[in-house]
Amino acid sequence: MSLLETREVTRTYGKGASKFDALRGISLQINQGESVAIIGKSGSGKSTLMHIMALLDHPTSGSVWLNDEPTAKIKARDLNKLRNKTFGFVFQQFFLNAQDSVLENVMLPMKIAGITGKKRREAALKAIKAVGLENKANNKANALSGGQKQRVCIARALVNDPQIIFADEPTGNLDSGTGEMVENILFNLNKEKGITLIIVTHDPDLANKCERQIQIKDGQLVEGGKE
Ligand SMILES: Nc1ncnc2c1ncn2[C@@H]1O[C@H](COP(=O)(O)OP(=O)(O)OP(=O)(O)O)[C@@H](O)[C@H]1O
């Protein structure tokens, strides 16, 4: 049984003369607990594929399956809930609310999930502790270093106990020492909690730390689609 599967997924942007086929029939399977890197040159379709796998975008044709269920017919509202419950996201650009505290940023996915009060606060503090930022919980997000911001993002990705963490160039904005710390946190979560990691990266060292590399070229799979 695969956790996440794409079947012959295509994605075409634009129309007429500006039509562009960013993905051209991608079929792949990811199992629970794997760590997988999506690699390929700039413009090859990595982010497009990740957005489709994370149910943030729909394929033009083909299908995406989560826990052996097709996702195409899920209504937008249910899809938002499913995504919030099942996935955590870590992006190169952080996407934190700069004026809010670390705690408020980390509580956000639970707020969306309708979790309230003490439970929300406790779970957020636990996640903040897991990334070693307990002494910064009440600081504003914009008062943190890049590495600390990325650790807040990981804490935020963790609070709903996700099955999968999607990370798009998670160390792209960090110096190598800080990047390594962030990588270690992600891989520990994979090993200790069995959270599946799907990482889009240009960094060959980071890709090699993953159990499997899925290589994309011009919107097609070169290798690594199956375990
Ligand atoms: N909204 C869009 N409209 C039109 N074309 C798009 C759109 N988004 C992406 N593309 C095109 O689709 C192709 C794949 O883009 P994508 O961002 O998936 O590549 P990538 O492999 O993630 O690149 P990078 O490593 O530079 O981030 C590119 O040629 C890009 O220009």
Find all residues with CB under 8 Å of 54, minimum gap 6, and list them: 83, 87, 89, 164, 166
Radius of gyration over every alpha carbon of the chain, rounded to an integer in angstroms: 17
> With pLDDT > 70 as the criterion, what percentage of the chain qualifies?
100
Atom of ligand 1 nearest to the CA of 44: 21
Within 6 Å (CB) of ligand 1, which residues are found? 13-14, 20, 22, 40, 42-48
pLDDT 10s digits, 15-51 = 999 999 999 999 999 999 999 999 999 999 999 999 9
Atom 25 of ligand 1, residue of closest alpha carbon:
42
Average per-residue pLDDT in the chain? 93
Q: Does the pLDDT value for residue 1 go beyond 80?
A: no
- Look at residue 165 and give its three-state secondary structure: strand
pLDDT 10s digits, 66-112 = 999 999 999 999 999 999 999 999 988 888 999 999 999 999 999 88
pLDDT 10s digits, 133-159 = 999 999 999 999 999 999 999 999 999
